[in-house]
């Protein structure tokens, strides 16, 4: 069965930040193409949602995969509702571990 891919607001913010960074340091066209490619890659999770590495040590049901070795994609899979939620996209060696280990705000 096929899954639906959704992007959390935080993941969308991170994609915007990646695009802005690449546009400022390189080319806006290249930045847009790169981010579009990441989004397309995430959308492929509809068919193979369990492809990444399980990271329950950071958050229950969290999976991690990468795009071209430069971007880390963090996502949750709900097998009950068949939804894959992209919760973060991290670029250029950003430390994603610490983000998921922080206690939730009260």
Domains and CATH numbers, the chain: 4-99 (3.30.2310.20)
Mean pLDDT (whole number) for 27-34? 96
Residue 23's pLDDT band, with cuts at 50, 70 and 90, is very high
pLDDT of 105 strictly over 70: no
Q: Mapping DSSP to helix (H, G, I), strand (E, B) and coil, where does residue 93 land?
A: coil
Say whether pLDDT at 34 is over 80.
yes
Q: Which of 36, 38, 37, 42 is nearest to 3 (CA)?
A: 42
The predicted model scores a pTM of 0.87
Q: How many CB atoms lie within 10 A of CB 23?
A: 16
Of 34-43, 46-55, 81-90, 95-104, the poorest mean pLDDT is in: 95-104
pLDDT given at position 69: 85
């Amino acid at each position: 069965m096929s899954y639906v891919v959704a992007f959390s607001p935080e993941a969308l913010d991170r994609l915007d930040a990646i695009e802005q960074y690449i546009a400022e340091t390189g080319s806006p066209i290249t930045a847009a193409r790169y981010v579009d490619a990441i989004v397309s890659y995430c959308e492929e999770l509809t068919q193979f949602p369990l492809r990444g590495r399980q990271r329950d040590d950071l958050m229950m049901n969290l999976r991690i995969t990468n795009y071209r070795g430069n971007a880390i994609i963090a996502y949750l899979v709900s097998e009950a509702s068949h939804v894959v939620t992209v919760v973060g996209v991290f670029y250029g060696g950003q430390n994603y571990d610490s983000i998921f280990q922080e206690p939730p705000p009260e």
